[in-house]
Amino acid sequence: MAGNESGKAQVILDLDTGIDDAMAIAYVLGSPDAELVGITCTYGNVEVGRSVRNSLALTELLGHPEVPVYRGLGHALASDGFEVLPSTLRIHGVNGMGEVEVPEPMREADPTPAADLIVRAAHELGPRLVYVPTGPLTNLAAALRRDPEVARLIGRVALMGGALTQPGNVSACAEANVSQDPEAADEVFRSGMRVTMVGLDVTHQTLLTREETARWRALGTAAGRAYADMIDYYIGAYAESAPQLGGCALHDPLAAAVALDPSLVRTLPVNLKVDLAGPTRGRTIGDETRLNDPEKTCAVALGVDSERFLGHFMERMGRALGAGE
Ligand code: BDR
Ligand code: CA
C-alpha cells in the first residue's frame, strides 16, 4: 500500500463521517507531520454508505482526491442491522454534515473491505501506522478476529470513545461510539493492543465557538464556507443539548491530534473492559481481573492541554481549509 519514507506519520482514519469526523479529516490533511493514507468507513452518525459518500466528498472538497476510502461493516458485530439514533440526527443532521450541501464525489470507494485494509496496512506499514478510530470499533475488532497479530503490529492507536471519570452522552454511563458496539470495543481493549482512549473526560474540555468558525468563512474558500456552516449547525445542537459547555466538543479532531502528539494529554494506565450486560451496558471501566497485571495496555486520557491543542487545531484547520478555491 501507499506510504512514503518521509518520516511522516502514516495515518488511517476510521470514521462514521459526521461533523466532528469531518474536522478530523481536515485536521490530518492540514498536518505537515502526517500523511493521510486512507479512510475506513463505519456507521454511527450516519449509515456506512453515507459515511463513504461524505468521506469521498470531503476529501475532494479539501483538494485531496488521492486519499483512498474503504467501506467497512454496516452494523455492530452482535446485531444484524443499524438505524441512526434520533438524537444523532439532531446533532449531525440527516446527511451527517449539518444539511450542508457538498458536491457529489467524482470517484468511488476502493473495493477492498475496511477490515482487510486494516490487516494489510498493519503488516505493510507496521510501526509507522497511526490508526485513529472515531466511530464504533467494529472494523478494528473485525480486523483483529481475522488476524490477532494486528494488535502488536500497528504503531499507534488513539481512539475517540468512552468515558472513565465523566457521565456518558447516550446514557448515564455510555459514550456514543462504544455504545454502538460494546462487544467490539471490549474485544479491542482485551486484545493486548496498546491504545490511547480519548474519551469524554478530555473531549468535553476542548471546545469551539462561532468566533473561530467565522475565521474559516473569512478565508473565502468553498471548504472554509462549508466547514463554517457545518460546525455552526453542530454548535447550535450543543447549545440545546449541553449549554453548560459554551461551544461544541472537538471529539474526533482531538483523537487525531493525540495520535500525532501524545504529549497533548495526561493519561492513566488502565486495563480496560466494557460492560456488556445490564443497565451499565456500554460503560468503559477498569477490568478487575487484570487489575494487578504489571502491564497496562490502555492509556486513558484524563487531562488535556486545551490551549495548546486549540492552537494546533486552528493552525492546521486553517491550512487545510485555506487551500483551494
Ligand atoms: C462521538 O460520537 C460521534 O457522534 C461523534 O462523531 C464522536 O465520535 C462522541 O461521543
Ligand atoms: Ca465520530
Cα three-residue angle 188-137-81, rounded to 5 degrees = 130
96 pLDDT more than 60: yes
pLDDT band at residue 325 using 50, 70 and 90 as cut-offs:
low
185 pLDDT more than 70: yes
Active site residue 251: yes
Q: Give the Cα separation of 155 and 76 in Å (integer).
A: 25
Cα three-residue angle 243-247-250, rounded to 5 degrees = 125
Q: Cβ(14) to ligand 1 under 6 A?
A: no
Instruction: State the distance from the centre of ligand 2 to the C-alpha of 169, rounded, in angstroms.
Output: 13
3-state secondary structure 216-246: HHCCCCHHHHHHHHHHHHHHHHHHHHCHHHC
DSSP 180-220: H-HHHHHHHHHTT--EEEE-HHHHTT-EE-HHHHHHHHTT-
Residue 49: name the closest of 27, 82, 76 by CA: 82
**DSSP β-bridge partners for residue 268:** 300
5 pLDDT more than 80: no
Q: Give the Cα separation of 111 and 28 in Å (integer).
A: 23
Residue 1, in any domain of the structure: no
DSSP 130-175: EEEE-S-SHHHHHHHHH-TTHHHH-SEEEEE---SSS--SSSSS--
Return the percentage of the chain with pLDDT > 90, whole number: 95
Tens digits of per-residue pLDDT, 255-296? 999 999 999 999 999 999 999 999 999 999 999 999 999 999
Q: What's the pLDDT at 90?
A: 95
Q: Give the Cα separation of 87 and 217 in Å (integer).
A: 27
Residue 237, in any domain of the structure: yes
Select the more confidently predicted residue: 205 or 7.
205
Rounded to an integer, the average pLDDT of 135-143 is: 98
Catalytic residue (choose from 75, 92, 204, 251): 251
Q: What's the pLDDT at 1?
A: 64
Residue 2, in any domain of the structure: no
Q: Whose CA is nearest to atom 8 of ligand 1?
A: 134
Q: Cβ(179) to ligand 1 under 6 A?
A: no
Residue 66, in any domain of the structure: yes
Rg (CA), the chain: 18
Instruction: State the distance from the centre of ligand 1 to the C-alpha of 274, rounded, in angstroms.
Output: 17
Q: Give the Cα separation of 325 and 161 in Å (integer).
A: 34
* Residue 298 lies in domain: 9-320
Residue 122, in any domain of the structure: yes
In this structure, what CATH number is given to the domain that contains residue 113? 3.90.245.10
Q: What's the pLDDT at 7?
A: 86
Residue 27, in any domain of the structure: yes
Amino acid in the structure at residue 7: G
* 215-228 core/surface letters (b: 16 or more CB in 10 A; e: else): ebbebebbbbbbbb
Q: Whose CA is nearest to atom 4 of ligand 1?
A: 45
Best substitution site from 27, 51, 160, 203 to test ligand 1's pocket, by max atoms within 8 Å of Cβ? 160
Assign 3-state DSSP to the chain and report helix, strand, coil percentages, each to 5.
Answer: 45, 15, 40
> CB-based contacts of 297: which residues, under 8 Å, 6+ apart?
189, 192, 193, 194, 195, 271, 272
Q: What's the pLDDT at 3?
A: 54
Alpha carbons within 13 angstroms on the beta-carbon side of residue 217 total: 10
pLDDT band at residue 136 using 50, 70 and 90 as cut-offs:
very high
Best substitution site from 252, 254, 283 to test ligand 1's pocket, by max atoms within 8 Å of Cβ? 252
pLDDT band at residue 2 using 50, 70 and 90 as cut-offs:
low
Check if the beta carbon of residue 115 is closer than 8 Å to that of residue 146: yes
Check if the beta carbon of residue 16 is closer than 8 Å to that of residue 139: no
Check if the beta carbon of residue 136 is closer than 8 Å to that of residue 162: no
Q: Count up the domains in the chain and report the number.
A: 1
At 19 the three-state DSSP class reads: helix
153 pLDDT more than 60: yes
Q: Cβ(201) to ligand 1 under 6 A?
A: no
Tens digits of per-residue pLDDT, 220-255? 999 999 999 999 999 999 999 899 999 999 999 999
Alpha carbons within 13 angstroms on the beta-carbon side of residue 144 total: 20
Instruction: State the distance from the centre of ligand 2 to the C-alpha of 136, rounded, in angstroms.
Output: 8
Q: Cβ(169) to ligand 1 under 6 A?
A: yes
List the grid coordinates of 21: 469526523
The atom number, within ligand 1, closest to the CA of 45 reads 4
Using alpha carbons, list the distances in angstroms from residue 266 to 1, 24, 215, 273, 308: 33, 21, 30, 20, 13
Instruction: State the distance from the centre of ligand 2 to the C-alpha of 133, rounded, in angstroms.
Output: 8
Q: What's the pLDDT at 323?
A: 83
Q: What's the pLDDT at 195?
A: 98
Rounded to an integer, the average pLDDT of 302-311 is: 98
Best substitution site from 20, 54, 175 to test ligand 1's pocket, by max atoms within 8 Å of Cβ? 20
